[in-house]
Amino acid sequence: MLISSRMLKSIALVLMFGLALVIRLYDLTDLPLDIHPTRQLLSAIKARGLYYQTQPDGIPTWRLEAAIELAQLKAEVEPVVFERLVAYTYRFTGEKVWIARIYSSLFWVTGGAFLFLLMRGLVSWEGALFSTAYYLFFPYAIIASRSFQPDPLMVMLILAFWWTFARWISITRAERSDSADEAGRGKQWRAALLAGLLGGSAIFIKLSAAFFVIGAALGLALSHFTWRQLLGNVQVWSMALLGILPALAYLYYGIFFVGGLAGQFSGRFFPALLISPSNYLQWATKVNLAAGGLFVMLGLLSFFLVKEKKMMSLMIGVWSAYLLYGLFFNYHAATHDYYQLPFIPIVALSLGPLGAWVAAHWTETTRGYGRGVVYVILLYGLFSVVWSVRNQMKAIDYRPEAAMWAEIGEQLAYEPTAMALTQDYGSRLEYFGWTSAGIWPTVDDQAHNELRTGKGMFDGRFKKWVRNKSYFLVTDFAELKKQPELQKHLLIYPVYAEGEGYIIYQLRDRK
Q: Name the phi and psi angles at 295, rounded to 5.
A: -70, -35
Q: CB of 317 within 8 A of CB of 368? A: no
Q: What is the pLDDT of residues 210-267, one digit of tens each?
A: 999 999 999 999 999 999 999 999 999 999 999 999 999 988 887 777 666 655 556 5
Nearest to 432 by CA among 448, 410, 453: 410
CA distance 324 to 338: 17
Helices (H), 206-329: 209-222, 227-231, 234-252, 277-291, 293-301, 309-328
In this structure, the number of other CB atoms found within 10 A of the CB of residue 5 comes to: 10
Give the relative orientation of helices 343-365 and 309-328 as an angle to the nearest 10 degrees.
150
In this structure, the number of other CB atoms found within 10 A of the CB of residue 77 comes to: 15
Every domain of the chain and the residues it spans: 6-30+102-394, 401-506
Q: Mean pLDDT throughout 476-490?
A: 92
pTM of the model as a whole: 0.92
Q: CB of 128 within 8 A of CB of 119? A: yes
Q: What is the pLDDT of residues 393-439, one digit of tens each?
A: 999 999 999 999 999 999 999 988 999 999 999 999 999 999 999 99
Q: What is the pLDDT of residues 118-168, one digit of tens each?
A: 999 999 999 999 999 999 999 999 999 999 999 999 999 999 999 999 999
Angle at the Cα of 30 from the Cα atoms of 28 and 32, rounded to 5 degrees = 100
More confident position, 123 or 174: 123
